[in-house]
């Protein structure tokens, strides 16, 4: 014999019930079947709502009752033409109406009445489904489980008297001749003869009780998903179905919020070693999940990640608890007396405090009861008043083989830490089947996705990008990401998603990722750009592995990095302003990056896509010491002076450099030497020197007229006005066989930038186009420097440098 249970969604419409009939009929061709059914989807909630309205003397319960009645009559008409069934449903609805009227009159809704009220859902659905079988000439009979399952009088969550119940079930089914028996789940009868219930989700439990009593071949729980998943698929899109899981693992997962299975269901079938299958009514051919006592394989020791929402954490602490026996006993007895269930317990080894997790709705009652019990100790300040923290959730890693694998706790907590998920309490049983942590409810989705990625996705990592400044360079970066997305996924197991973008006018966010083939149109239709709201949106989305990418030259944006880092959001920047700001701010950003495990990457600050900063860091990390740096660090100025020849217009060459993206939007930043000064300052700081921008000697080649220009347009006018000055510079150099190069130098603790006329012997002489060159003189390279040379400006190379920094964020 086999037991099949169908949940509310499986019987959630007449069409769905036809699917149930098909599944059951196929099983009944081979063996006898007992079918346990839940109430029609949503009905139990409506029954409770109607009862609460009636108890408050609110006549709105009447319209809710009419909805319930109409639903069941509609089902009746759709499923059967039997007048007898219609009469049965009418009687049930009349009884329900009378009960609600009684609740309305006495203004009371006791647990006993709640059980009677909620029983109407399963009682009615089981009558309808039996009739639906019979309508198709499929032999089926109805049996009320209140005649089979005996419980105590703890209404709404009764305890089963197994011995008497098993005897009754075995006696009934011994004489059953019909292949299909339909039974209402969830309901039972108390020892005093009243209707009792087995708790919300109790239909699963009903099926397990019958399965254990009859020692059947298998129990099948049919629902709307294809088995248990490695995480809640509604929150974790990459969640994977679990083909096989042990009883203990399934019990842990269901206890910690895997709603596909009611936790008490497992105990009866585990005791009789009956395999339990979770199947999908809407995809009956799907494998589903098998739950048994067999070993769970040799692969991932983690079977699933689950969570419980709406948790409150209560802390009882004080010096008066240390060394005092019986404190825990008093605490737990107190909570038991007021019927508060403890979900999680953790106690410091110092015995100074005990933390317990309870349902948030029970928190106030629990606090009052505890403080009453320990009133004397609180009054004499031996124990502190109970501390209550709310809006929390519990997340749990579950796996029976975790105990034989080292480092799982470390991986769990480091993964959460990297994503700025603060852990309020931790619990791990000695069996090591479960590691639980209490976190803020707002972090649940991020925590689940981070842990799932770490333990289930074959070392695949998702980075979620928020890019500010999608102009020239930013647009090239978007194109490069779109081009390489698939390659990175297949070869580096790196899933890059762009979640938010902004330019100076508009911004747009898509939590599931922006379609990179349509980003321009989406941005054009976006909301008004605002740097503060952009940052607030990044933080409120609270997505794992978030990365802020700054492709602007904006000081206000640069000054916002600290706010991102404090929320464990990595920062990748080509904007040099932050790293060239005060030494105090530079050091603070470095400190925040370490403290919050948020990378701060700025390779493109110097040399665009060239690995200059990375090389410098590696030299220092390997024990080398920098003695001197000489460099041409401005691709913009190199382009300008390589294209500016005697007789040409300096104004036109600068205009060309701006148009081709080799200069900042304001070319004065490049031509004044400020940009190069910032770059050599950054290299000096990365080499360990504590210099400020004003410590860099900057010898300008621009005229005072140029330097005092009021805006970019005015600046270009001054270039025309002072054309002779620039002609003199280039003609003097040409006359000596020299070329003009803008050189940065660091020696000892002195740094300078300025235009130089260099001879053919100089390594800078042959530098063409927009190239940069850096010469590192170190203790290991005292005479022949380590040279890095290549394109140091341009949209594509700068974008590729940013892209490289982003890829380097991959953590494993």
Closest CA to 677 of 591, 741, 744, 725: 744
Closest CA to 345 of 336, 358, 363: 358
How far apart, in Å, are the Cα atoms of 775 and each of 637, 756, 787? 18, 16, 5
Under 8 Å between Cβ of 419 and 446: yes
Specify which residues 772 forms β-bridges with. Answer: 790
Contacts of 31 (CB under 8 A, 6+ apart): 1, 2, 217
Contacts of 667 (CB under 8 A, 6+ apart): 636, 654, 657, 658, 712, 715
Residue 46 falls in the annotated catalytic set: no
Query: How many CB atoms are closer than 10 A to CB 430?
Result: 6
Specify which residues 626 forms β-bridges with. Answer: 778
Helix (H, G, I), strand (E, B) or coil at 47: helix
Tokens of 797: 């190379």
Under 8 Å between Cβ of 738 and 645: no
Which residue of the set 69, 446, 679, 770 is catalytic?
679
Say if strands 2-6 and 33-37 run parallel, antiparallel, or are unpaired. parallel
For 596-707, where are the alpha helices, taking DSSP H only?
612-621, 635-643, 650-659, 668-671, 674-686, 704-707
Contacts of 136 (CB under 8 A, 6+ apart): 21
How far apart, in Å, are the Cα atoms of 619 and each of 508, 587, 715, 747? 41, 20, 41, 16
Core vs surface per residue 142-175: b (16+ CB within 10 A) or e: bbbbbebbbbeeebbbbebbeeebbebbeebbee
Say if strands 739-747 and 750-758 run parallel, antiparallel, or are unpaired. antiparallel
Under 8 Å between Cβ of 179 and 33: yes
**Residue 680, Ramachandran bin (φ over 0: left; ψ between -120 and 50: alpha; else beta):** alpha
Strand order in the sheet with 195-197: 150-151, 187-190, 195-197
Q: What share of the chain is helix, strand, coil (3-state, %, to 5)?
A: 45, 20, 35
For 5-59, where are the alpha helices, taking DSSP H only?
14-28, 43-55
Query: How many CB atoms are closer than 10 A to CB 530?
Result: 13
Rounded Cα distance between 50 and 275, Å, is 38
The residue with tokens 């060459």 is: 653
End-to-end CA distance of the chain: 50
Rounded Cα distance between 313 and 304, Å, is 24
**Residue 412, Ramachandran bin (φ over 0: left; ψ between -120 and 50: alpha; else beta):** alpha
Name the helix (H) or strand (E) containing 192. none
φ/ψ (deg, to 5) at 736: -95, 5
How far apart, in Å, are the Cα atoms of 434 and each of 266, 444, 678? 17, 17, 52
Which DSSP string do the residues of 687-753 spell out, in sequence order?
Answer: TT----GGGEEEE--S-HHHHT-SSHHHHHHHHHHTHHHHHHHHHHHHHTT-EEEEEEEEETTEEEE
Closest CA to 76 of 18, 127, 141: 127
Give me the active site residues, please: 679
């Amino acid at each position: 014999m086999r037991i099949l249970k169908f949940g509310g969604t499986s019987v959630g419409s007449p069409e769905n019930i036809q699917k149930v009939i098909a599944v059951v009929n196929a099983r009944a061709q081979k063996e006898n079947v007992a079918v346990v059914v839940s109430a029609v989807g949503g009905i139990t909630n409506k029954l409770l709502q109607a009862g609460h309205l009636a108890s408050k003397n609110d006549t709105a319960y009447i319209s809710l009752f009419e909805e319930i009645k109409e639903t069941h009559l509609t089902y009746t008409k759709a499923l059967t033409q039997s007048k007898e069934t219609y009469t049965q449903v009418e009687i049930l609805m009349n009884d329900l109406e009378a009960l609600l009227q009684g609740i309305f009159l006495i203004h009371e809704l006791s647990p006993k009445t709640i059980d009677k009220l909620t029983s109407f859902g399963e009682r009615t659905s089981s009558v309808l489904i039996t009739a639906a079988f019979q309508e198709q000439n499929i032999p089926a009979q109805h049996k009320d489980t209140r005649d089979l399952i005996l419980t105590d009088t703890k209404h709404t969550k009764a305890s089963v008297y197994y011995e008497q119940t098993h005897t009754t079930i075995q006696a009934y089914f011994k004489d059953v001749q019909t292949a299909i028996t339909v039974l209402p789940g969830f309901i039972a009868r108390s020892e005093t003869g009243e209707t009792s219930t087995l708790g919300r989700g109790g239909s699963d439990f009903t099926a397990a009780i019958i399965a254990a009593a009859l020692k059947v071949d298998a129990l099948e729980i049919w629902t709307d998903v294809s088995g248990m998943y490695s995480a809640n698929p509604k929150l974790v899109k990459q969640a994977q179905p679990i083909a096989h899981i042990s009883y203990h693992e399934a019990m842990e997962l269901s206890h910690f919020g895997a709603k596909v299975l009611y936790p008490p269901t497992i105990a009866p079938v585990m005791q009789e070693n009956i395999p339990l299958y979770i199947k999908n009514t809407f995809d009956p051919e799907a494998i589903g999940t098998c739950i048994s006592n067999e070993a769970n394989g040799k692969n991932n020791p983690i079977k699933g990640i689950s969570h419980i929402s709406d948790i409150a954490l209560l802390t009882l602490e004080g010096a008066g608890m240390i060394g005092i026996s019986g404190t825990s006993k008093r605490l737990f007895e107190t909570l038991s007396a007021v019927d508060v269930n403890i979900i999680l317990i953790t106690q410091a080894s110092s015995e100074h405090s005990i933390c317990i997790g309870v349902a948030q709705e029970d928190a106030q009652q629990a606090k009052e009861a505890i403080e009453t019990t320990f009133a004397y100790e609180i009054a004499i300040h031996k124990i502190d008043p109970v501390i209550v923290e709310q809006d929390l959730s519990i997340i749990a890693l579950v796996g029976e083989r975790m105990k034989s694998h080292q480092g799982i706790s470390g991986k769990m907590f480091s993964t959460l830490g990297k994503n700025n998920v603060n852990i309020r309490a931790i619990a791990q049983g000695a069996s090591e089947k479960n590691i639980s942590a209490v976190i803020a409810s707002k972090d649940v989705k991020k925590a689940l996705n981070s842990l799932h990625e770490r333990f289930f996705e074959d070392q695949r990592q998702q980075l979620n990008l928020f890019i500010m400044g999608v102009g020239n360079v930013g647009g090239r970066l978007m194109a490069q990401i779109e081009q390489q997305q698939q390659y990175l996924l297949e070869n580096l197991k790196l899933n890059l998603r762009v979640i938010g973008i902004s330019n100076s006018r508009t911004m747009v966010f898509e939590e599931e990722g922006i379609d990179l083939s349509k980003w321009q149109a989406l941005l054009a239709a976006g909301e008004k750009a605002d740097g503060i709201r952009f940052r607030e949106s990044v933080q409120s989305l609270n997505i794992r592995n978030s990365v802020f990418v700054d492709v602007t030259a904006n000081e206000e944006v640069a000054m916002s990095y600290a706010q991102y880092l404090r929320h464990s959001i990595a920062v990748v920047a080509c904007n040099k302003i932050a790293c060239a700001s005060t030494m105090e701010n530079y050091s603070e950003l470095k400190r925040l990056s370490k403290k919050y495990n948020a990378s701060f990457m700025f390779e493109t600050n110097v040399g665009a896509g060239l690995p200059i900063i990375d090389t410098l860091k590696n030299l220092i990390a390997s024990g080398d010491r920098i003695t001197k740096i000489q460099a041409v660090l401005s691709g913009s100025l190199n382009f300008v002076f390589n294209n500016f020849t005697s007789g040409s217009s300096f104004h036109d060459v600068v205009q060309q450099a701006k148009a081709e993206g080799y200069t900042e939007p304001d070319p004065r930043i490049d031509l004044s030497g400020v940009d190069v000064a910032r770059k050599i300052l950054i290299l000096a700081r990365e080499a360990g020197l504590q210099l400020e921008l004003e410590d860099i000697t900057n010898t300008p080649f621009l005229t005072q007229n140029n330097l005092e220009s009021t805006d970019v347009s005015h600046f270009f006018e001054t270039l025309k006005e002072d054309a002779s000055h620039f002609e003199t510079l280039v003609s003097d150099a040409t006359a000596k066989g020299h070329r003009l190069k803008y050189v940065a130098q660091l020696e000892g603790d002195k740094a300078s930038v300025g235009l130089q006329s260099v001879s053919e012997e100089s390594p800078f002489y042959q530098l063409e186009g927009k190239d940069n060159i850096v010469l590192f003189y170190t203790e290991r390279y005292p005479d022949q420097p380590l040279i890095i040379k290549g394109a140091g400006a341009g949209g594509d190379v700068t974008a590729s440098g940013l892209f490289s920094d982003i890829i380097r964020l991959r953590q494993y």
